[in-house]
């Protein structure tokens, strides 16, 4: 998990919601780390999803699958969990950038380097 730093209340809430939606940590892990009730975080995430009309990138897990996921993740060292979270973040960033390039090219803006182009 990221190092605890000083936040304004809104920044703290946004950081926690972002970490949850990126699949970095569970409500309980975030609540323990940031000293916030997990139910409060769950409320923030629900409000954010409704306000932004977004769908979670995390699959819908049953209670048993969620418990198994938590158990599996707690067996890993903290550094591995941080690296996995960073990989997920970079994969999403890559997807967003490729989508942006695809949209630009559909609108006549050529961005990708074509094979055989003069250099």
Contact 23, 73 (CB under 8 A): no
Helical spans, DSSP H, in the chain: 9-21, 27-34, 38-52, 63-74, 78-106
**pTM listed for this prediction:** 0.41
Q: Which residue has the higher pLDDT, 25 or 1?
A: 25
39-43 long-range contacts (CB < 8 A, ≥24 apart) are 41/16, 41/17
pLDDT band per the 50, 70, 90 thresholds, residue 87: very high
What length is written for the chain?
Answer: 119
**Tokens 């000083």, residue located:** 6
Q: What percent of the chain has pLDDT over 70?
A: 69
In 3D space, the residue among 83, 77, 40 whose CA is nearest the CA of residue 17 turns out to be 40
CA–CA separation, 80 vs 106, rounded Å?
39
């Amino acid at each position: 998990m990221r190092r605890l730093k000083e936040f304004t209340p809104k920044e703290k809430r946004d950081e926690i919601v972002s970490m949850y939606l990126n699949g970095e940590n569970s409500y309980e892990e975030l609540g323990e780390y940031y000293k916030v009730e997990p139910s409060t975080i769950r409320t923030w995430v629900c409000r954010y999803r409704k306000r932004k009309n977004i769908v979670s990138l995390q699959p819908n897990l049953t209670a048993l699958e969620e418990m198994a996921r938590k158990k599996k993740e707690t067996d890993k060292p903290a550094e591995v969990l941080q690296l996995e979270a960073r990989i997920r973040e970079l994969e999403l960033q890559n997807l967003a950038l490729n989508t942006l390039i695809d949209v630009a090219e559909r609108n006549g803006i050529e961005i990708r380097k074509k094979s055989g182009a003069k250099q």
